Chains A and B, each alone.
Chain A
């Protein structure tokens, strides 16, 4: 691992900052703590957690509402997973749900086989940085045929100034198995900029299905530069549900490589760019096998001078006959100062395919607002209702408590009370 980290650092230093997407010049790489240890040892039950960490979580509303529902909790609190709970029945089924560091220690063979294989250390500058300095993140393995009924959840939180978080997640879903992993992020506001650069690698083996759900709500000074990629083999299904509300700049395009015949991939993406925010989000689907299918649905909202872009790649390789793909990008612009862009990249090297692309841009209508206000809703409530409706096709895919949280976040955004 040390060699891997050192080699990655070389790659990171050799690569220039990307010239596309958002403005990255505000990141000062020399002014970031790359590792902070939060508590001396990991807690194994709720009661063992230090009180201040518990308090923070209480404010996020995690324990009471969700504890019982949780199949296991992993939380990233100042760089390290401090709490991990896994229900006994999951353990009995052979499901592994650990922080990445423990995963590497306890399941070295499995980690070695896949770590850095889906996203090579030299994939891009920020994947290289993560490969060099990573700590924390989740390691999940689901054995063949095992269906994990409840979503596995991890809460991430950066709360020390100038601290980059470089968590690394690896999920392996073996043949015919199923897992839903939920990642939610919140962070308080800091005086200087913070960097979050994660890498998530997922392997979905034949006939398996994996869903990865994110609600990203970093404070508005965080650079959120994340590389997420999954490979799906024969008849496997991979779904990314990716909601981005926070951060100063997000550049994130969850990818699915459809490597086996009949594989299916879906990306559902939401980007909400408010004041001083630039969210460059989207998805990638790469068809490498016959009869593969993909759907990318993007909903972007911009408000108060914010900017939300869709950037996506659809690629069909020669030989991927009978493949189907549909890309739908809808943008909602809430005022004159805000901006929305669409950058759909499409490369098709096979003629026997069925590809569709639709894009709409709409502005929130005075008539719609008046109609809702005439029923007693305030202007902010009316706008929030229109926006919630706009993203409903995606929020309905979220677990109930996250859908509620998502709508609450949108409401806060509309009232301008998200810091």
Chain B
């Protein structure tokens, strides 16, 4: 059984509009899956629903994480179980530094894993790991003392999302259009960062419109996602085909990519 298992998953907005119309997908540690699709296909809605955003309701099928139905869990419980979402548009939290936010998040997860007992990360260990991860992602040190995403450039926000992934060590990371708004150098740093974080303990679902991030991340599986459904699956070669031919072949008659 895969760690993340979606069976005929359906997701609707609060007004009842169905966005995700039956998705089957398995993601396990060590694997990188790319979910590629045109704008408005419902990719981000799928990501939000997996993480537990209150505006996206699972209305059919199931999403299992480690065998457990996620629809019974709040976003915090899903994160504690090891699910992570790198946001396309991360939110600013004025007055809370990156460092203090990361420490609180790590300690919340450690507490949950210690059965509700406080088990704070030793500060020297935290500091060492943070500095190493920042250096690796070429994030300037001063950013650690700035308020989370407050006045950050688009590129800084995306790097800090991956920094969070590196620090929180999820078992499955969903990356929602992490490549958007990044220049070529930043894209390479971020993509390599993700690539290195995936391993025996961690798998990733990379959601993207473009093929370019996949040159660096090198997915094992590619899924083409159109109008709320996976319409084609294959290996990395599928991404190249999409880059050359576009999404048109997969779209319903008369629609534009």
Contacts and interface: CB of A to CB of B under 8 A. Distances in A.
A374 B95 contact: no
A405 interface: no
A373 B76 contact: yes
B93 interface: yes
A82 B230 CA distance: 75
B151 interface: no
B233 to A, nearest CB: 27
Contact of A378 (B54, B85, B95, B108): B108
B95 A376 contact: no
A139 to B, nearest CB: 37
B1 to A, nearest CB: 24
A377 to B, nearest CB: 5
B175 to A, nearest CB: 13
A335 to B, nearest CB: 15
B168 A386 contact: no
A371 B52 CA distance: 10
B94 A379 contact: no
A368 B91 contact: yes
A419 B116 CA distance: 24
Contacts of B164: 375
A377 B104 contact: yes
Interface stretch (A147-155, A230-238, A388-396): A388-396
Contacts of A373: 52, 74-76, 79
Interface string A375-411: 1111101100110111111000000000000000000
B147 interface: yes
A381 B104 contact: yes
Contact of A391 (B80, B91, B95): B95
Nearest to A299: B95
A374 B54 contact: no
A366 interface: yes
Given A367-B91, A381-B108, A385-B104, A374 B52 contact: yes
Which of B85, B105, B109 has the most A CB atoms < 10 Å from its CB?
A: B105
Contact of B79 (A365, A374, A390, A393): A374
A388 B95 CA distance: 7
A376 B52 CA distance: 12
Contacts of B78: 374
Contact of B74 (A371, A379, A390): A379
A370 interface: yes
Given A376-B105, A381-B108, A389-B96, A365 B75 contact: no
B53 interface: yes
A375 B105 CA distance: 6
Contacts of A374: 51-52, 75-76, 78-79, 84-85, 87
A412 to B, nearest CB: 16
B101 interface: yes
A370 B47 CA distance: 13
B105 A377 contact: yes
B93 A375 contact: no
Which of B75, B90, B91, B105 has the most A CB atoms < 10 Å from its CB?
A: B75
A385 to B, nearest CB: 6
Nearest to B89: A367
Size category of the A interface is 20 to 34
Contacts of A388: 95-96
A389 B94 contact: yes
Contacts of A118: none
Given A371-B87, A389-B95, A392-B95, A376 B53 contact: no
A393 B168 CA distance: 28
Nearest to A370: B53
Contacts of B147: 389
Contacts of B143: none
Contact of B76 (A378, A386, A391, A392): A378
A144 B216 CA distance: 68
Contacts of B53: 370
B112 interface: yes
Contacts of B80: 376
B171 to A, nearest CB: 13
Contacts of B75: 370, 373-374
B93 A376 contact: no
B79 A376 contact: yes
A372 interface: yes
Nearest to B80: A376
Contacts of A371: 87, 90-91, 93
Contacts of B84: 374
A373 B80 CA distance: 10
Nearest to A396: B95
Nearest to B86: A374
Interface in A333-384: 365-368, 370-379, 381-382
Interface of B: 51-55, 74-76, 78-80, 84-85, 87, 90-91, 93-96, 101, 104-106, 108-109, 112, 147, 164, 168
25 contacts: A365-B91, A367-B91, A371-B87, A372-B93, A373-B75, A373-B76, A373-B79, A374-B51, A374-B78, A374-B87, A375-B105, A375-B168, A376-B80, A376-B105, A376-B109, A377-B104, A381-B104, A381-B108, A385-B93, A385-B104, A388-B96, A389-B95, A389-B147, A391-B95, A392-B94
Given A370-B53, A376-B109, A379-B74, 11 more contacts: A365-B91, A371-B90, A372-B101, A372-B105, A374-B85, A376-B105, A385-B101, A386-B96, A389-B147, A390-B94, A390-B95
Which 8 pairs, one residue from A and one from B, show the smallest C-beta to C-beta distance? Answer: A389-B95, A392-B95, A376-B79, A373-B75, A375-B105, A389-B96, A376-B109, A376-B108
